[in-house]
Structures are given as structure tokens and as C-alpha cells.
Amino acid sequence: MTDQGSRVAIRAGRAFDGRAMIRGGALVLCEGGAIAGMLPGGAPAPDGWPVADFPGATVLPGMIDCHVHLCGDSLEGALERLGGYADDELDAVIEASLRAQLSAGVTAVRDLGDRRGAVLGWRERARELALPAIVASGPPITTARGHCWYMGGEADDLTALRAAVRDRAERGADVVKIMTSGGAMTPGTDVLVCQYTFEQVRLVVEEAHARGLPVTAHAHGLPAVIMAADAGADGIEHCSCVTGHGIDVPGPLLEQLAANRVTVCPTLGRKMTGPLPPAIAEIMRRTGMTWEGRLAMVRELHEAGVVIASGVDAGISPGKPHGFLAGAVGDLVDAGIPSLAALASATSVAAAACGLGDAKGRLQDGYDADLVIVGGDPVADVGALADIRAVYIAGTRVA
């Protein structure tokens, strides 16, 4: 880490404040870890403020990946190996994952599935090491031998579900995650089948809300998406709406998601390094789901007014590596979502989804001075998000 002191002015020819572009760029004043002021890009810096100039570049709030698995090393079988790690090995994977995210301009992550709460203990350590801030769920709640059961979150009956929520609250989890459908990465589960009843999911939501915790639901099959929405989940991960004959998003579901301000994280972003994993290829064959169909569905969600936050499902495989959030934002643009909305999905909207909306995701006085500078103009060419020129955590430039 390179310490530039407690005070620095960062000048860039373009600036995205988390919601809109600032005409003429900006001079961002950072002091004591926070944004102390915003001046026009051409303004002189106040006396005593060292300036870091990035001509032709764009300054944005540090990006936020809303769906990661820090325990996953981005290799084949990443999640299935979790049970075999010693504590120090798992710590090494988590730190490497955070550093990969940081190098890609991500300054905060929401971890939605670790091994027996390993990531919960990293929140303070990440701050000390100037790594991305962590919002964490601990192990996802799932059925016996259900999707990601090997993370240690199995709970079946109502008593066990109450205990699972209570355990997460007592351990300081920031969010509760529940697997309402099967998943592609767990043999023996089915993405089209609901893992829980409505009563069970509703109980988890009520118990979590009573403790001040939001709930986000993993849901691929359309019945699971509908169940999660009806049960009052605050967020839906993937939200694939897949059926036995492709993807289908009924109008009433669109209206419900939009009216209730349910945040959907469609977990786009795929790094094409080879053929699809056999499990994914089989699901696509069996259901008729296509990548183009997923993009069309996300566009439909956006046009209906559904809140969309960006997250990759990072760490689970080579196709979903840590540090690939720019790919997920680019996929939103490819889906037909305006670039400003796509950028917001990884900044201000992502911050709100993670419960960080009063401190991160905006270039605004008093917000954390977590910033990323990228080459070019990401509004004109979203690919510029992958051209990282500098990253700042709490106003300090980090390697």
C-alpha cells in the first residue's frame, strides 16, 4: 500500500458520481478517509492539498460486487473443495480473492455463501489490510444435501430454520441468504424445483426482519422466484425465471418485483475460457434456456422498473472469477440497459443493496473516499471499466 497521507485531491477529466456524469470532470477532495468536497475538474486545488492528476480518465465511486464467494478460488470445483481446507488455507483463498477484486476496482463485496462463517471474521481484517469492505451472510440456509449444503447451512424444519436465522444474527451476519431452488453447482439438486415451501421461506423472512436483517433468495426456477417474491424477500439472486420450456417472466411478477422494490442481482458476467461446464450445458439443453434469453429477461426487468444490482457470483469457477465485475456491467449494456443505469448497478444501487448506501457508492461529501479511476469514458464504452488506472481505499492509493 502506498500512503499518500490523510489529504489528497484527485482530478479526472470525467466523473461519474454513482448516478450521473459530472460535466467537466471533478476534483475530489479526500481527507480523513472521506470525501471532503467536490470541485469542478478545472478548479485549482486548495492550498495544502497534493493533487493526483488523471487527464483523460474517469473517476467513479469504488465498485461493489453484490454476489461473491470469497472462499472460492475461481478454479474448477472451487466450492466443493471448501470442506477440505485447513483454516490457514481458507484464509489464504479469502485474501487472494479480495486482492483480485481490489485490482479490478472493486472496493466492497457482498459475500453470499462461505464455509461455516469464515468470511464473517474477515470484515475487520479487510479494513486493517485496506482490502475491499465486506458484507457477509455466512453459510446460505439450505435443505439437507441441498444446494451448497457443504457450506454448513443445512436446515429443514421450522425449528431448525428459526435457529439458523438466530445463529446468523448472533454471529453478526449482515444479510440472510436462503436457497429457494436447487443450483447448477450441486449434484443432486434441480434448478427447476423449490427446495422449501412458502411457509418455510416466509418464516425465514419474518425471523430475519424481526432481527433487522434483510433476506436475499437464490432462485433459478420460476416457481422459486415467485415464492421468494411472495414471501417478502428483499432480494433475489439469479432470478433466472427458467421453466421446462425456456425463460418466462409473467407480467404480475414483474409488477410485484417493481412495486415492492425487490433488488434483483442477475449474476451476469461470464469469462468464456472454454466450453460450458457440463452441468450448465445440461441445464440449458433440458430447459431451453439461452444466454440471449437471459439478457432479454434482464432487459425486461429493467424496463418494468425492477431494481437491478450487479454481481458476478464470483469465485465459483474459471468462468466466474473474482475481479470480473466489469464483465457483468458490460452484459447489462449488451442487454440493452442504458450505460448510466448499468454503472449505477455497480455503484449507488449496489451500495443500497448491500446496506452501504449512506457511506459508499457515491461521489458525495461525507461518503467514504473509496474511488476507482478508469481510462476512457465508460458511458461511451463500458469496456473502459476494465482499464483500471488507480484505486483508492479511504483516500489512500492502494497497489
Q: Helix, strand or coil for residue 262? A: coil
What pLDDT, on the 0 to 100 scale, is given for residue 363? 98
Q: In which element (H, E) is residue 99 found?
A: helix 87-103
Same domain, 270 and 369: no
What pLDDT, on the 0 to 100 scale, is given for residue 249? 96
CB atoms within 10 A of CB 34: 17
Same domain, 103 and 163: yes
Q: What CATH number is attached to the domain comprising 144?
A: 3.20.20.140
Cβ–Cβ under 8 Å, residues 165 and 204: yes
Residue 2 covered by a domain: no
Residue where a domain terminates, one of 317, 334, 353: 353
What pLDDT, on the 0 to 100 scale, is given for residue 279? 81
Residue 1 covered by a domain: no
Domain housing 108: 63-353
Same domain, 205 and 254: yes
pLDDT digits over 109-158, tens only?
Answer: 999 999 989 999 999 999 999 999 999 999 999 999 999 999 999 999 99
Residue 346 covered by a domain: yes
In single-letter form, the type of residue at position 85 comes to Y
In single-letter form, the type of residue at position 370 comes to D
Distance of CA 182 to the CA centre of its chain: 20
Same domain, 343 and 370: no
Same domain, 301 and 369: no
Same domain, 106 and 208: yes
Number of domains in the chain: 2
pLDDT digits over 174-185, tens only?
Answer: 999 999 999 988
pLDDT digits over 328-358, tens only?
Answer: 999 999 999 999 999 999 999 999 999 999 9
Residue 316 covered by a domain: yes
- The CA-atom distances, in angstroms, between 178 and each of 35, 94, 141, 143, 326 are 36, 22, 5, 9, 26
Chain mean pLDDT for the chain: 95
**Read out DSSP for 317-362?**
BTTB-TT-HHHHHHHHHHTT--HHHHHHHTTHHHHHHTT-TTTSSS
Cβ–Cβ under 8 Å, residues 317 and 74: yes
* Rounded (10°) angle between helices 222-231 and 251-259: 40
pLDDT of 283 > 90? The answer is: no
Residue 1 banded pLDDT, cuts 50, 70, 90: very low
Same domain, 334 and 371: no
Residue 4 banded pLDDT, cuts 50, 70, 90: very low
Same domain, 242 and 298: yes
Residue 294 covered by a domain: yes
Which residues make beta-bridge pairs with 238? 219
Same domain, 344 and 370: no
Residue 24 covered by a domain: yes
What pLDDT, on the 0 to 100 scale, is given for residue 2? 39
Kindly state the percentage of the chain with pLDDT values over 90.
90
pLDDT digits over 219-276, tens only?
Answer: 999 999 999 999 999 999 999 999 999 999 999 999 999 999 999 999 999 998 777 7
pLDDT digits over 362-391, tens only?
Answer: 999 999 999 999 999 999 999 999 999 999
Same domain, 132 and 110: yes
Same domain, 116 and 233: yes
Q: What CATH number is attached to the domain comprising 12?
A: 2.30.40.10
pLDDT digits over 9-62, tens only?
Answer: 999 999 999 999 998 999 999 999 999 999 999 999 999 999 999 999 999 999
Same domain, 219 and 298: yes
